[in-house]
Structure 1
Amino acid sequence: MGGMKSAEDAIDVDVDVDLDLGEASLPRPGDVVAGKYRVQRVLGVGGMGVVVEAEHASLRQRVALKFLHPKVAASDVSVTRLLREARAASAIKSEHVARVLDMGTLPWGSPFVVMEYLTGIDLRGMLGRRGPLPVEDAVDYILQACEALAEAHSMGIVHRDIKPSNLFLTSRADGSPLIKVLDFGIAKLLRPGGAAQPEDVVTLTGHGFVVGSPRYTSPERLRDPTDVDPRTDIWSLGIVLHELLTGHSPFEAKTISSLYFRIAADPPARVRDVRPDVPEGLEKAILQCLQKDPDKRTPDVAELAASLRPFAPERSETSVRRVIRVIGIPPEKLPTYAGAGSRDADGLRGLLSTALRPAALRRSMRLRAGLGLLGVTLLVVGALVMSSGKTPDARAPSPGPSRAAPEQPKEPSVAVAPDGLSDPPAQGAEEPAAPASSPAAKVPKGGTTSSYRTSGAPTGRRKGGRFLDPLDSRK
């Protein structure tokens, strides 16, 4: 939850915190909230509230409950912030956003939010334990965060507080890493044209509150806190990626005032000065996120995903394609940062162009390619069969009176296409007529002259008689 005092951490479920809540009116371990959530232990305590682990009495489901301190709950700004977080998070369906399961009100009127319980560690904690991350891991985590932000931005929601402690690393059922974006409490809602919603005209900057985290605040927000659009989150992602690779901020300072000055006026530190092994193209992508003029900055998470893809592991392909499809950018606008360690730029452009094609068109192209390959295979088989069917009469006679030994008939040749490269003809279709050949080329019934073998059922889910590309569905 934003505003926590412990190193800006939002929710730390990796450490069992045994603290006295200090407020008689807040639920304690053992208490039952709303008649169904039994409090187990405290997960995090901050100046604004507390997060606890609880169990649903009937479902035995572990959940996280977020409460406001009673004094904070008396502030309309704090209540609005909590409600905004719940609404924004529940509206976004991406697997990369912590799910909101329920909301409720304590007997004295203070609201609370029920969220999914996460096991793992946030990226700030991971940096503290492991130090700078490998390039592929750091890029993969940012691309997963881009998935969540792509959906949020498409809905007119700007997070405004992207930082390592709000990127939580957990795992899927198969053990693969999964990033969850936390804390939409200070998210800004934009009208379709980009203007703020009425409730955002007076932002959540009341007495004692600071919106966002200074280290990750963009220059335009330093000048005007209401100047917010998706490029604000792009700036923050650039800062976070720099930190994941180096362990340091690109704008180091000892005081808040000097930090703000450096963000507004100084160029960012370069990643390769600390990590020479980082590809030059990746450094350029980070610097593009940190352009002080928003008009010169990477404009959206789709182009950011395109620029990071050459340095990502194979498991990130799904994230890149999803981000591209949600935001949508024309292929000619795709950035290419060719540098050491980058993949071929044309290959990148081709991949992302494919991601932008409609699903039906991609399926049609695959079908045409498969039919073409099948046709070529049949032509090759026909040529081989005709070649094997030639008789001895067609050969030139050997000189001299000697009699040639009788020639044994040749076995017919059968070409087999590699698995997965061709599909069998549709059921009920006529088999192509075989070329005329001598009796030596005939095969008894029961033998096989098939020019293909089936490669198994196509991948994907069947729907309405069609198989769908797994990447065609958005989270």
Structure 2
Amino acid sequence: MLRLAVTRDVKAVMAANSDILEREKTCSLSLSTCSSVRTNRSLTSTCRPSSLVINEINLNGPEIFPKVNIFEKLECGGMGTLFWGSYGKKGKLVIVKIPNQLDLSADLVKEGHLLSELNRIGSIYLPSFYGIGAIFIRDPFNNEKVSLPYYVMEYIPGLNLNNYIKSYMATYGDAIPFWQVTLFSLETFLAVLDLHNIVGVAHRDLCASNLLISTRKDDSSSIKVIDFGVAKRKGTDDETLQAHYKERIISGRLSYKPPEVLIDGGEGNVDVAMKTDLYALGLTMFFMLTGKTYYYKSEDFHLTDRIPAEALRQIPKDFADIIFRLTNNDISKRLVDYKEINDCLINLFISYGQEAANRFDFIP
């Protein structure tokens, strides 16, 4: 019942968002013509200037991307450019990711292999992965052939949580319902639990923009975690605490990082990064409830709460309590026990689930 209620609201918000409608229209057109059409589009990287920027890739012909038809460019991220495409004889709609620069190729290969490993655990909260390959292009600077990796993953129709919340607030004039917050928070936590405990991976960039609200075959909606470009696995060579302090690199969005990471300047230690994921979960929950993201206003991170006390007082106490514990500046007092987090979220889910049933007049 709760899932069907979520789906109804998701569809209502999408219907009010012209960009989404246009995107879905493009998808339908692409699927209907994928067996006979290959575009003449080329990839031009405009994300970051570099002597190694890939200027142009011809996307024509099956010899370029075996089993994949490329339709058009979707967006350009920090590490790679995403394309619409179809995969296999049935024309399954997919996303193809290609690195923006040649010197990012190794990072994209690592991300592809990580997605392949994550795919084996069968989590419904992670995207499906179809394979990794390579194409050969000529480096425009030395005219030599170079290998350029790419990987293929499922296309997940829907909005990311950041856009969904903004669209919902624009459509209804209010934040998303509490029962949606509880469902999305619980599913995000279960995805993090799978990542941490089954495969030993820290996401390191958990935020509303990297959570997609997807629609399943039974027309129910759920959260899927995406973008593993900066994820880190246990057993990597910078896992030790000493390497953590040597790396001094912050991966992901600063607005979702705890004070100890901002001060120490890195998440090379995977255990530290996993705790950062849980901290980011608390900030994501607050964003779901309010549509707001708070930055530290002082460099003295230990003395400045990320979320002001007056802001927490404006949301229900049961939500405020768990968010405060997840985002406590004192790491020794922070909520990092998986079972306790699970129990807290389950209790919220039970408390607010009836709201969905009442709202949509569902029969138990």
Q: Please, what TM-score do these two structures have when normalized by structure 1?
A: 0.54
Contact 1:144 1:178 in 2 (8 A): yes
Q: Aligned pair in 2 of structure 1 residues 77, 215: CA closer, same or farther (>3 Å)?
A: farther
Alignment deviations for residues 124-156 of structure 1 (CA, whole Å, 9 cap, x no partner): 111221132211101210110111111111132
Number of the residue aligned with 1:66: 97
Query: Is residue 2:162 matched to residue 1:124?
Result: yes
Counterpart-to-counterpart distance in 2, 1:75 and 1:115: 19
The unaligned stretches of length 5 or more in structure 1 are 1-11, 192-196, 318-340, 342-475
Contact 2:179 2:353 in 1 (8 A): no
Q: Aligned pair in 2 of structure 1 residues 181, 79: CA closer, same or farther (>3 Å)?
A: closer
Shift of 1:90: 2.7
Counterpart-to-counterpart distance in 2, 1:185 and 1:316: 34
Number of the residue aligned with 1:168: 212
Contact 1:15 1:43 in 2 (8 A): no
Contact 2:79 2:104 in 1 (8 A): no
Q: Give 3-state SS (helix, strand or coil) of 1:74's partner.
A: helix
Match of 2:73 among 23, 28, 42: 42
Q: Partner amino acid for 1:122?
A: N
Shift of 1:280: 0.8
Q: Give 3-state SS (helix, strand or coil) of 1:265's partner.
A: coil
Counterpart-to-counterpart distance in 1, 2:263 and 2:110: 23
Contact 2:87 2:93 in 1 (8 A): yes
Contact 2:42 2:57 in 1 (8 A): no
Contact 2:125 2:191 in 1 (8 A): yes
Number of the residue aligned with 1:303: 340
Query: Is residue 2:113 matched to residue 1:94?
Result: no
Q: Aligned pair in 2 of structure 1 residues 15, 48: CA closer, same or farther (>3 Å)?
A: farther
Shift of 1:311: 2.1
Larger Rg: 1
How many correspondences in the alignment?
290
Number of the residue aligned with 1:21: 43
Q: Partner amino acid for 1:236?
A: A
Q: Give 3-state SS (helix, strand or coil) of 1:266's partner.
A: coil
Q: Partner amino acid for 1:138?
A: V
Counterpart-to-counterpart distance in 2, 1:289 and 1:144: 16
Q: Partner amino acid for 1:105?
A: A
Alignment deviations for residues 285-343 of structure 1 (CA, whole Å, 9 cap, x no partner): 000000123332112333212112222258989xxxxxxxxxxxxxxxxxxxxxxx9xx
Number of the residue aligned with 1:231: 275
Structure 1 residue ranges, 4+ long, deviating more than 6 angstroms after superposition: 12-15, 17-20, 314-317
Shift of 1:281: 1.7
**Which piece of structure 1 moves more, 308-317 or 237-246?**
308-317
Shift of 1:218: 1.9
Counterpart-to-counterpart distance in 2, 1:76 and 1:119: 27
Q: Give 3-state SS (helix, strand or coil) of 1:162's partner.
A: coil
Q: Aligned pair in 2 of structure 1 residues 173, 270: CA closer, same or farther (>3 Å)?
A: farther
Counterpart-to-counterpart distance in 1, 2:84 and 2:200: 31
Q: Partner amino acid for 2:167?
A: R
Number of the residue aligned with 1:369: none
Q: Which has the higher contact order (CA 8 A, sep 6+)?
A: 2
Q: Aligned pair in 2 of structure 1 residues 216, 91: CA closer, same or farther (>3 Å)?
A: farther
Q: Partner amino acid for 1:106?
A: I
Counterpart-to-counterpart distance in 1, 2:130 and 2:196: 22
Q: Give 3-state SS (helix, strand or coil) of 2:184's partner.
A: helix
Q: Aligned pair in 2 of structure 1 residues 306, 31: CA closer, same or farther (>3 Å)?
A: farther
Identity %: 23
Q: Aligned pair in 2 of structure 1 residues 76, 118: CA closer, same or farther (>3 Å)?
A: closer
Contact 1:159 1:187 in 2 (8 A): yes
Q: Give 3-state SS (helix, strand or coil) of 1:144's partner.
A: helix
Q: Give 3-state SS (helix, strand or coil) of 1:110's partner.
A: strand
Number of the residue aligned with 1:217: 257
Q: Give 3-state SS (helix, strand or coil) of 1:102's partner.
A: strand
Structure richer in helix, relative to its length: 2
Number of the residue aligned with 1:425: none
Q: Please, what TM-score do these two structures have when normalized by structure 2?
A: 0.69
Q: Aligned pair in 2 of structure 1 residues 282, 117: CA closer, same or farther (>3 Å)?
A: same
Q: Partner amino acid for 1:235?
A: Y
Shift of 1:220: 2.2
Q: Aligned pair in 2 of structure 1 residues 265, 84: CA closer, same or farther (>3 Å)?
A: farther
Number of the residue aligned with 1:137: 180
Query: Is residue 2:286 matched to residue 1:286?
Result: no
Number of the residue aligned with 1:265: 303
Structure richer in strand, relative to its length: 2
Shift of 1:240: 0.6
Contact 1:65 1:112 in 2 (8 A): yes
Query: Is residue 2:107 matched to residue 1:78?
Result: yes
Query: Is residue 2:349 matched to residue 1:312?
Result: yes
Alignment deviations for residues 352-404 of structure 1 (CA, whole Å, 9 cap, x no partner): xxxxxxxxxxxxxxxxxxxxxxxxxxxxxxxxxxxxxxxxxxxxxxxxxxxxx
**Which piece of structure 1 moves more, 291-300 or 170-179?**
291-300
Counterpart-to-counterpart distance in 2, 1:118 and 1:270: 35
